[in-house]
A = this chain, B = another copy of it.
Amino acid sequence: MSAPEAHVSTTTDVVALEVDVIARIAAGAASAWAGLEPARRAGALVAAADALQLSRDELVAIAMTETGLSEARLNGELTRTAVQLKLFAETIVDGTYLDVRLDAADPEFVLGPRPDVRRYLLALGPVVNFAASNFPFAFSVAGGDTAAALAAGCPVIVKAHSGHPKLSVRTGEIVAAALEGAGAPHGTLQVISGQAHGVAMLQHSLIRAGSFTGSIRVGTYLAQVAAARSVPIPFFGELGSVNPVFVTAGALAERNDAIADGFVTSVSGSAGQLCTKPGFLFVPASASEALQARIAQATTGLSEHRLLNPGIASGYRERRETILATPGVTTITQGSLRIDENGQGWATPTIARVSVADLLAAKVQLSEEAFGPLAIVVEYENESLPEVAEALFEGNLTGTIHSAAGEDTTALRSLIEWLTENVGRVLFDGWPTGVAVTPAMQHGGPWPATTNDSSTSVGTAAIGRFLRPVAFQNAPQALLPAALTDANPWLVPQRRSPAGESASWGDLNG
């Protein structure tokens, strides 16, 4: 570690020095923040939510300028962000999340005298959260990962996304002030910017976990950085997903127009820049004509939407050109993409069409995510859909089935089985965008949807990412953490294993 008076000769030194100072401030806050009674930490999260609401006009105005997203969308997203903070406050307030387990000492235990053991979940310590471009509130400075880590008791350092720098700084100021005003220690939330700073922070010895939402390329790199540290740390990356949708003949016969309209809405919302945008719609070739007609109709006259930033615009252009130039691909809706003099992209939806056979033949060109308002309708005949899916796709955040009551469920069941093994959320007769923030939500999935499918980045179960268990054996009451004491001043739920339970197990020593 460089001391403040060390000679600073290169940019790298400056980055290391700045990152070190920020990491030390976070580490200095860790013990006091983790040690707060859960109800008080919940109160600080509610104060942060309220502060966001009070600064709504200012923040939405900045976000509109920086991201091109609509006022309505940004207002809704800010609301969601505040609600997320309140949901995590609810999640921790009664202490259930601590998973307190108290095993009473048991001199008669079947394996010999058992000590008094008490276990709960502890905050990991300072974490770095890499913000996403496409949700400047809900997956950014005060977004889901931040809320989950703060709720767990971890100080958070957010590496701001370059797509909304002013919004990131201002959100950080507002939320940090609200947290500190409600009793959080200084440094509970900090914001940094710049790729070099982000990587150096992930490598800093005081950082105990990382989270990320973004591309497969960057996410894979950061996961490797986290794994290659001299002390490796957990890294939760949400990378990429094409979210296939499978439509049966029965579903099309029953509700062709509703499926077409729902598909177009889900593909074009937020200009297709959502992790859960449905990238592929599998439909029976025999009934595809009417669906395509309705899709063409639903996409007619949609106005241009600005893409988030020039980097996304050029990436989208490349993917779109590759897809449209692939043999066998035709367009239902050609759509448009215009890149202006500032490099900003302006797009209307592009809906392509291909047969299963041509898709399988061009897997390399077609199966990768196109981040923007483009999706591919895939016409199937008698192919086995689980086998097609297995050949084409890796892990995904979501997979969807549209079917009709009364159809044969044998084929559906094998498709459901494939989806269950390969995605984080299986949907029926709906669309994967618009992820609900609830206790049962699962926003994650096998690689490369995420680097770690044991957790979620949306919904209150996300708190588990930022906790680790610790046990205390035969500790004097006065030296135990409050939640583990018999007095239980915080009134948290305590799961007790009393003595004598093994008495009925018989003589196991045979």
Chain multiplicity (copies): 2
- Whether B497 pairs with A438 at a CB distance below 8 angstroms is yes
* 10 closest Cβ pairs, A-B complex: A442-B471, A101-B440, A119-B440, A103-B440, A427-B473, A117-B440, A103-B438, A425-B471, A227-B227, A442-B469
Q: Does A232 contact B (CB under 8 A)?
A: yes
- Whether A428 pairs with B476 at a CB distance below 8 angstroms is yes
Q: How far is the CA of A425 from the CA of B474 in the complex (A)?
A: 11
**A residues 421-460 with Cβ under 8 Å of B?**
421, 423-430, 434, 436-442, 444, 446-448, 451-456
Chain B's nearest CB lies how many Å from the CB of A464?
Answer: 8
- Whether B101 pairs with A426 at a CB distance below 8 angstroms is no
Given the contacts A102-B440, A109-B436, A436-B115, A469 and B479 also touching, CB distance less than 8 Å: no
Q: Does A6 contact B (CB under 8 A)?
A: no
Chain B's nearest CB lies how many Å from the CB of A217?
Answer: 14
Q: Does A394 contact B (CB under 8 A)?
A: yes
Chain B's nearest CB lies how many Å from the CB of A79?
Answer: 5
Chain B's nearest CB lies how many Å from the CB of A306?
Answer: 24
- Whether A471 pairs with B440 at a CB distance below 8 angstroms is yes
Q: Does A224 contact B (CB under 8 A)?
A: yes
- Whether B470 pairs with A423 at a CB distance below 8 angstroms is yes
- Whether B122 pairs with A510 at a CB distance below 8 angstroms is no
Q: How far is the CA of A453 from the CA of B53 in the complex (A)?
A: 37
Q: Does A344 contact B (CB under 8 A)?
A: no
Residue of B nearest to A478 (CB): B409
Chain B hits for A296, CB < 8 A: none
8 Å CB contact of A510 from B56, B427, B454, B502 = B56
- Whether B436 pairs with A103 at a CB distance below 8 angstroms is yes
A/B interface sample: 9 pairs, CB < 8 A: A79-B509, A103-B440, A223-B232, A231-B395, A232-B451, A425-B473, A427-B472, A428-B479, A444-B468
Given the contacts A426-B473, A470-B423, A101 and B452 also touching, CB distance less than 8 Å: no
- Whether B440 pairs with A118 at a CB distance below 8 angstroms is yes
Chain B's nearest CB lies how many Å from the CB of A81?
Answer: 10
Chain B's nearest CB lies how many Å from the CB of A87?
Answer: 9
Q: How far is the CA of A352 from the CA of B441 in the complex (A)?
A: 55
- Whether A427 pairs with B474 at a CB distance below 8 angstroms is yes
8 Å CB contact of A430 from B425, B434, B474 = B474
Q: Which of A175-183, A193-201, A249-257, A411-419 contacts B (4 or more CB under 8 A)?
A: A411-419
Q: Does A80 contact B (CB under 8 A)?
A: yes
A interface majority secondary structure: mixed
- Whether B473 pairs with A438 at a CB distance below 8 angstroms is no
**A residues 467-510 with Cβ under 8 Å of B?**
467-476, 478-479, 481, 495, 497, 502, 505, 508-510
Binding site for B on A (CB under 8 A): 31, 53, 56, 75-76, 79-80, 82-83, 86, 101-103, 109-112, 114-115, 117-119, 122, 125, 223-224, 227, 231-234, 394-395, 405, 409, 412-413, 416-417, 420-421, 423-430, 434, 436-442, 444, 446-448, 451-456, 461, 467-476, 478-479, 481, 495, 497, 502, 505, 508-510
Q: How far is the CA of A103 from the CA of B87 in the complex (A)?
A: 14
Chain B's nearest CB lies how many Å from the CB of A404?
Answer: 10
Chain B hits for A423, CB < 8 A: 470
Chain B hits for A80, CB < 8 A: 111
Chain B hits for A505, CB < 8 A: 83, 86
8 Å CB contact of A234 from B405, B452, B469 = B452
- Whether B508 pairs with A446 at a CB distance below 8 angstroms is no
- Whether A117 pairs with B468 at a CB distance below 8 angstroms is no
Q: How far is the CA of A417 from the CA of B223 in the complex (A)?
A: 29
Residue of B nearest to A75 (CB): B509
- Whether A234 pairs with B440 at a CB distance below 8 angstroms is no
Given the contacts A110-B83, A426-B472, A508 and B53 also touching, CB distance less than 8 Å: yes
Chain B hits for A429, CB < 8 A: 474
- Whether B479 pairs with A425 at a CB distance below 8 angstroms is no
Q: How far is the CA of A412 from the CA of B478 in the complex (A)?
A: 11
Question: Most chain-B Cβ atoms within 10 A of its Cβ — which of A451, A469, A510?
Answer: A469
8 Å CB contact of A495 from B31, B109, B439 = B439
8 Å CB contact of A425 from B82, B413, B472 = B472
8 Å CB contact of A439 from B103, B451, B453 = B103
- Whether B111 pairs with A437 at a CB distance below 8 angstroms is yes
